[in-house]
């Protein structure tokens, strides 16, 4: 429904009234209007108004010479003044503002829609037709109808055929309890925002595809072929998603700090061969980024002191670090023949893509070590399965030897051979495992990081099988030789079973064993050997026998609290070994 046409006075019903100026009248009753016509003369037409916002509507049509407000309606005059002032303000807003009737016809606008649609005039035309029949993308697919019917604001997003996006917000004009017939609609151009979101989504999807190097797809490829496949994926994503043609990726050697080229497209041969290191000075933007871990935007290559020529004729560059688990593993550099070619948005996009590249490179390294890793896992599984059973063989053998003092020499020799063979089983498993799958394949706990632990013989004494098993799992990875005992008596027999040239480097015992306390075990072991490298374990319960206090008086240095942390366990063993030296 359009605005009701203004009521014409009888004096303006002839044809000449079309040429006479018209005055919008906001005031009292009919008598006051007649008096105004008498004062202005017959050369004008007076058009009465029922509300102040209609004055703005009709003035926008440029058919009226002015607005007259009766002095008795001072507040109405103020309203009209404000409306006319707001009209001038709205004309300078960056957003479009229009007044629509119930048929979505534009009855006033601030001019922004004329700019966006290249139309000379939009007043009197259907809003959706002016916008080129856009697709309504929601959340409300009938925002104008909703606003009129619910008397509440509504909004939606429109997409034009030229791939421009607009957010509309419709607010009904409410008057004296009547059903609203007009909407104030603001229109905001969100094209850049939407396109950035779409680009972010495309980069995310490209990153997912980049790292999607499934073992089945690359099982038949060697390492160099896998690198070539990854390079092709990176180049495809950079050109299709980021629209970049000059690319350089370098990987950081963590030991030498040299940045070694992985791939380069569009770079000068001299630039590709250039040796660069992770350093803030003398190694260009790439070296600076690798050293600081911060991205760098070079807006003017000719004036930037860090820039070293990469692509011929490049005038700006953008470089981001490749970061994996908070560590810089390389750099990603792009260049442009235009100055100041890269914006903050470009920086954000490149940093996101750089993270995806870092993850893909990490995936590639893991796949390259896949066979070795599987072998290592198999060795660990075998060792875990046989660790405690072999300990049981050791325990049974020493128990037989201790219980029968008059054991025949041949049987005793046979039992000692069983002890030697049982201990050799663990060494063989570890040796084969290192041959089949080097520790660096999965560097969870490299022995090189704790050289004092390698080859050490550890005895763990605890009635709890889970504790004995945990000791194997935690210490075997450091190439320790772990043996276990169930109680103090068994521990004494294990110590006595060692050959004269053998000893335990560390003995770890619970403070409360089935047959004695940890302090009593210390005293009994001293009857066998003059050096007892003991570490006691305890929970957080009450030490009623004061085992720890007594043991400390006898020289105990370290106490572990169960469940013990790996770093505490390793530290206690290292310090105990070092003290024995």
Give which of 398, 434, 427, 347 is closest to 528, Cα–Cα. 398
* Full-model pTM: 0.39
Residues 164, 189 contacting (CB under 8 angstroms):
yes
pLDDT at 502 over 70: yes
What whole-number percentage of the chain has pLDDT above 90? 25
CATH 3.30.110.40 fits 209-365, yes or no: no
Q: What pLDDT does residue 73 have? A: 46
When pLDDT is cut at 50, 70 and 90, the band that residue 443 belongs to is very low
Give domain 1-90's CATH architecture. 3-Layer(aba) Sandwich (3.40)
Q: What pLDDT does residue 285 have? A: 95
Q: Which helix (H) or strand (E) holds 550?
A: helix 547-553
pLDDT at 8 over 70: no
- Token representation of residue 28: 């009292």
Q: What Cα–Cα distance (Å) separates residue 455 from each residue in 199, 431, 499?
A: 55, 11, 17
pLDDT tens across 540-551, in order?
A: 665 666 778 888
pLDDT tens across 365-400, in order?
A: 654 445 555 555 666 666 666 777 888 888 888 888
* Strand ordering across the sheet containing 22-26: 45-48, 22-26, 66-69
pLDDT tens across 197-222, in order?
A: 776 666 666 666 655 555 555 555 55
Question: Mean pLDDT, to the nearest integer, of 20-33?
Answer: 62
Length of the chain counted residue by residue? 581
pLDDT at 227 over 70: no
Cα–Cα distance between 230 and 290 in angstroms, integer?
A: 21
Q: What pLDDT does residue 2 have? A: 31
Give the DSSP per-residue string, 216-264: HHHTT--HHHHHHHHHHHHHHHHHHTS----EEEEEE-TTT-EEEEEEE
When pLDDT is cut at 50, 70 and 90, the band that residue 3 belongs to is very low
pLDDT tens across 414-429, in order?
A: 888 888 888 887 777 7
pLDDT tens across 448-460, in order?
A: 568 888 889 999 9
Rounded mean pLDDT of the chain?
77
Angle at the Cα of 451 (from 446 to 452), degrees rounded to 5? 130
Chain region(s) in the chain for CATH 3.40.50.2300: 370-580
Give 256's contacts (C-beta < 8 A, 6+ positions apart).
277
Q: What pLDDT does residue 219 have? A: 53
Q: What pLDDT does residue 442 have? A: 35
pLDDT at 30 over 90: no
Q: What pLDDT does residue 308 have? A: 93
Q: What pLDDT does residue 533 have? A: 92
b/e 103-131 (16+ beta carbons within 10 angstroms → b): ebbbbbbbebbbebbeeeebbebebeebb
Backbone angles phi, psi at 322, to 5 degrees: -90, 115
Q: What pLDDT does residue 508 have? A: 94
Question: For residue 276, what are the β-bridge partners?
Answer: 259
Backbone angles phi, psi at 320, to 5 degrees: -125, 145
181 alpha carbon, distance to own chain's centre: 48
pLDDT at 568 over 70: yes
pLDDT tens across 105-161, in order?
A: 988 888 888 888 888 888 888 999 999 899 999 898 999 999 999 989 999 999 998
Residue range 370-580 forms a domain whose CATH class is alpha beta
Half-sphere exposure of 441 (CA within 13 A, CB side): 19
Cα–Cα distance between 252 and 213 in angstroms, integer?
A: 22
Chain region(s) in the chain for CATH 3.30.450.40: 209-365
Q: What pLDDT does residue 27 have? A: 60
Cα–Cα distance between 169 and 167 in angstroms, integer?
A: 7
Which CATH number is 94-189's, of 3.30.450.20, 3.40.640.10, 1.10.10.1100, 3.90.1150.10? 3.30.450.20
Cis check: omega of the bond before 150, within 30 degrees of 0: no
Who has greater pLDDT, 435 or 574?
Answer: 574
Q: What pLDDT does residue 430 have? A: 67
pLDDT at 67 over 90: no
pLDDT at 435 over 60: no
Q: What pLDDT does residue 145 have? A: 92
Q: What pLDDT does residue 213 have? A: 53
pLDDT tens across 171-196, in order?
A: 988 876 678 888 889 899 988 888 77
Cα–Cα distance between 11 and 342 in angstroms, integer?
A: 68
pLDDT at 437 over 70: no
Q: What pLDDT does residue 250 have? A: 92
């Amino acid at each position: 429904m359009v605005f009701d046409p203004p009521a014409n006075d009888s004096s303006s019903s002839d044809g000449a009234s079309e040429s006479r100026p018209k005055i919008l009248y906001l005031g009292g009753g009919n008598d006051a209007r007649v008096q105004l016509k008498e004062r202005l003369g017959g050369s004008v037409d007076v058009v009465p108004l029922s509300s102040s916002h209609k004055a703005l509507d009709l003035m926008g049509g440029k058919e009226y010479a002015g607005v007259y407000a009766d002095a008795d309606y001072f507040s109405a005059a103020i309203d009209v003044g404000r409306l006319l002032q707001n009209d001038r303000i709205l004309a300078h807003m960056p957003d479009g503002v229009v007044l629509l009737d119930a048929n979505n016809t534009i009855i006033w606008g601030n001019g922004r829609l004329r700019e966006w649609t290249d139309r000379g005039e939009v007043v009197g035309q259907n809003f959706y037709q002016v916008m080129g029949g856009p697709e309504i993308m929601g959340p409300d697919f009938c925002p104008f109808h909703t606003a009129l019917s619910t008397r509440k604001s509504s909004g939606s997003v429109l997409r034009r055929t030229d791939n421009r996006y607009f957010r509309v917000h419709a607010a009904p004009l409410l008057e004296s309890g009547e059903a609203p017939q007009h909407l104030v609609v603001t229109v905001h151009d969100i094209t850049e925002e939407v396109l950035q979101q779409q680009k972010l989504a495309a980069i995310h999807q490209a990153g997912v595809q980049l790292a999607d190097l499934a073992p089945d797809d690359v099982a038949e490829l060697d390492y160099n072929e896998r690198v070539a496949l990854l390079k092709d994926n990176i180049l495809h994503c950079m050109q299709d998603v980021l629209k970049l043609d000059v690319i350089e990726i370098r990987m950081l050697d963590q030991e030498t700090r040299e940045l070694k080229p992985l791939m380069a497209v569009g770079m000068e041969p001299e630039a590709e061969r250039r040796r660069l290191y992770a350093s803030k000075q003398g190694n260009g933007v790439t070296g600076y980024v690798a050293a600081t871990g911060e991205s760098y935007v070079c807006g003017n290559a000719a004036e930037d002191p860090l820039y070293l020529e990469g692509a011929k004729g490049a005038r700006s560059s953008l470089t981001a670090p490749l970061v994996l688990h908070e560590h810089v593993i390389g750099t990603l550099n792009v260049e442009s023949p235009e100055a100041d070619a890269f914006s903050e948005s470009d920086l954000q996009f490149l940093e996101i893509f750089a993270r995806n590249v870092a993850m893909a490179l990490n995936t590639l390294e893991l796949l390259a070590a896949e066979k070795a890793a599987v072998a290592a896992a198999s060795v660990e599984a075998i060792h875990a399965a046989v660790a405690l059973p072999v300990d049981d063989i050791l325990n049974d053998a020493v128990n037989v030897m201790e219980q029968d003092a008059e054991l025949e020499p041949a049987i005793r020799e046979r039992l000692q051979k069983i002890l030697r063979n049982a201990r050799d089983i663990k060494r063989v498993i570890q040796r084969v495992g290192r041959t089949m799958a080097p520790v660096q394949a999965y560097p969870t706990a490299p022995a090189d990081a704790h050289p004092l632990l390698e080859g050490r013989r550890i005895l763990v004494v605890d009635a709890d099988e889970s504790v004995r098993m945990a000791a194997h799992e935690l210490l075997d990875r450091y190439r320790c030789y772990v043996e276990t005992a169930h109680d103090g008596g068994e521990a004494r027999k294990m110590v006595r079973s060692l050959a004269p040239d053998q000893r335990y480097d560390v003995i770890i015992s619970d403070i409360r064993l089935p047959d004695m306390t940890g302090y009593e075990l210390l005293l009994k072991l001293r009857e066998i050997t003059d050096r007892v490298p003991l570490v006691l374990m305890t929970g957080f319960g009450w030490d009623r026998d004061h085992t720890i206090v007594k043991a400390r008086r006898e020289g105990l240095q370290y106490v572990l609290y169960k469940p013990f942390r790996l770093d505490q366990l390793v530290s206690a063993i290292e310090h105990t070994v070092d003290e024995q030296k």
